[in-house]
Amino acid sequence: MAIPILSLISLAGANAINPCALAMLAFALIAILTKDPRNRKKVLQVGFAFAVGFFLIYFIYGLILINVLQVFSALESVKIYFYKAAGILSIIIGLFNIKDFFWYGSWGFVTETPRSWRPRLREMISKITSPIGGFVVGLITAVFLTPCMMGPYLVCCSLLQQQLSFVGSIPWLLLYNLIIILPMIIITLIIYFGFSTVDNVYGWREKNLKLMHLITGIILVLIGLALILGWLY
């Protein structure tokens, strides 16, 4: 069975447009430019370091998930139920994202970083002064965003482990996570080369926040339905 590359790219795209991750990157770049407005080289270094830290955490998550899922996959009696459960989870998270397009913040929550965590994250980000700080904040941001990003990733790892060995899945995990950090790299380069400002980028994020939730939600619902109906395994 061929790797469902379109499904993997779609899932990675859903993770890549996560508004929380892009907001945290914007805050990090704002912190650097506030301290030293003319030092665009440091913007490049911090932005890339943030992306590398984020990438590292999710790549490690992927390796752990592949191992765990292969144990479940070995149990043929529960295998089909596991994938259907993954499909249901994908649909639920997708519907929550669609909810945030039509009724943002309703029901007392949004499918983003929990609001109670945000002040601490912003305070921590405001103290960044070096690429090492950007890397550490990228690591921590990835951990904080686990609840709202793990759904698509779990589905991705489910698809990989059923068709590939642990070693064989590694290149696909690398590709998946490169797609996740691609918007971070693009934003960093845009600001470094002066094509736009951090404020404009953050403003674009705020303006299109609901649309990003809608796109993510539709992708997750479609992938979930495909899993439940058995089209991906």
Q: Give the structural domain span for 165.
A: 5-228
Confidence of residue 231 (pLDDT cuts 50, 70, 90): confident
The dihedral of CA 205, 53, 175, 81: what is its sign? negative
Q: What is the pTM of this model?
A: 0.81
Mean pLDDT of the chain: 82
Give the pLDDT mean for 79-108: 82
pLDDT, tens digit (0-9, with 9 covering 90-100), for 2-41: 567 888 888 888 888 877 787 788 878 887 777 777 777 8
**What does the pLDDT read at residue 171?**
93
- Integer Cα distance of 90 and 188 in angstroms: 30
Distance from chain centroid for Cα 228 = 23
Give the pLDDT mean for 218-226: 85
Contact predicate 13/223, CB 8 Å: no
pLDDT, tens digit (0-9, with 9 covering 90-100), for 57-83: 999 999 998 888 877 766 666 767 777
**What does the pLDDT read at residue 90?**
80
pLDDT, tens digit (0-9, with 9 covering 90-100), for 157-181: 878 887 778 888 999 999 999 999 9
pLDDT, tens digit (0-9, with 9 covering 90-100), for 172-215: 999 999 999 999 999 899 888 877 777 787 787 778 888 888 88
* Residue found by looking up tokens 């945030």 in the block: 100
**What does the pLDDT read at residue 115?**
64
Is pLDDT above 80 for 132?
Answer: yes
Number of domains in the chain: 1
User: Is residue 69 included in any domain, yes or no?
Assistant: yes
- Integer Cα distance of 22 and 51 in angstroms: 10
User: Is residue 217 included in any domain, yes or no?
Assistant: yes
- Integer Cα distance of 141 and 146 in angstroms: 9
User: Is residue 233 included in any domain, yes or no?
Assistant: no
**What does the pLDDT read at residue 178?**
96
**What does the pLDDT read at residue 189?**
92
DSSP character at residue 108: G
**What does the pLDDT read at residue 112?**
65
User: Is residue 152 included in any domain, yes or no?
Assistant: yes
